[in-house]
Structure 1
């Protein structure tokens, strides 16, 4: 069995490894959690315990995860602007509540993730899409995306190593900063600055997976230094980057 598996591409991140527990944390992604054996436990910010075989966690919700025995967790992170997140939000009315399911949506799909954990190469994006299809009843939702925000997202992803001010982004699309901030959060689901931080995290992790050193990946991703990246990673995922990343 692989020590850990990690996939990060096009707004989707999937991690699996021996993580028995995490600290209380929150990140800017919609998350699906599944364990290979039995239930896992999610504790929310109020201390409420949720036991389930599959959890769906809205973005920016503080939570703590734990599983026991030989069970291996699979964490699937989805950019809040990604169509998979949009579909889950609309199906489960995701807002502040953690969704816990007591039955897996499709054993065959989950077995493919088990094979991936064991070292088999699979099309992770394809099976993530199939899982979301199962969870949302195969529904395809059409979202009314504002092209100004779509263009902004693209610009952010192309400019991560640069300083980005909301006033400058608003000016590019001929809006006031306050109107732009409202429109951005309405369409993306999280505020402008938080999205930039999440985009920088995605870019840095993708760069590390491609074989770049942690220092180069952090610099290209827009983090000021390694401690800044490490602190942000731990706050977002509840574990230190050294425990899940090589670089």
Structure 2
């Protein structure tokens, strides 16, 4: 890919050409806008051709190539992602949003990127707020965001629950087991390190991966492409 990636705390907006991806799943909801259309598939081998799709978090999916498109990733912690995931189905036929009327600019500025994010979220009609999370799950997320090395016992004690209760509350409210959540956060830290100019090896070490090969495996599982395809050919811009 040779486009631009705009980064905020819980949102990533990519604008530019898309390469085809293999089946993958990640903690983020994904909204794709491709004015010329592209193929989207799910884990049941169903495939559709559409100009826009809203793909729920944590479901297997892949997409075809496109000469120019926008991809908006909403981290699973983002309120819009949580709202979109409430009534989501794993079938790609339910993801189609051909009626979305959102133009995708070429060479967007930061201001244009912010406006595009607002237009996309308005078009998919994210209005009803998600259910509040258990306070213990919120405290656990904050602890895991700060460190990968705390034990479940210590984190559970801090949250005021037994380890079994903590695992249940976390998976119910976050939608991921704790280990998977930690892996997603490590991946986000690796992406941020690459944004800051680090090599893939340095980014892997900084984010807590065993090596660059480990980072590459997780990146492919999460995004259906290699880090080289997804990171090194992209211009980065921050929005916060």
TM tier, shorter chain?
0.7 to 0.9
Match of 1:196 in 2: 182
Please, which of 79, 86, 106 is the counterpart of residue 82 of structure 2? 86
* Number of equivalences: 231
Match of 2:201 in 1: 215
Please, which of 155, 159, 168 is the counterpart of residue 173 of structure 1? 159
2:12 matched to 1:13? yes
SS state at 2:144 partner? helix
Cα 1:165–1:124 change in 2 (3 A) is: farther
Match of 1:187 in 2: 173
Counterpart contact for 1:88–1:132, Cα < 8 Å: no
TM-score of the two chains, using structure 1 as the length reference: 0.83
Match of 1:77 in 2: 73
SS state at 1:27 partner? coil
Cα 1:141–1:181 change in 2 (3 A) is: same
Match of 1:152 in 2: 140
Q: CA deviation at 1:223?
A: 1.4
Counterpart contact for 2:13–2:70, Cα < 8 Å: yes
Where structure 1 has 5 or more consecutive residues not aligned to the other structure, the ranges are: none
Q: CA deviation at 1:24?
A: 1.5
Counterpart contact for 1:81–1:187, Cα < 8 Å: no
User: Which whole-Å CA distance do the structure 2 matches of 1:67 and 1:35 have between them?
Assistant: 10
Match of 1:243 in 2: 229
Deviates more, 1:197-206 or 1:73-82: 73-82
Please, which of 73, 96, 108 is the counterpart of residue 90 of structure 2? 96
Counterpart contact for 2:22–2:62, Cα < 8 Å: yes
Q: CA deviation at 1:164?
A: 4.1
SS state at 2:96 partner? strand
Where structure 2 has 5 or more consecutive residues not aligned to the other structure, the ranges are: 234-240
Counterpart contact for 2:44–2:91, Cα < 8 Å: no
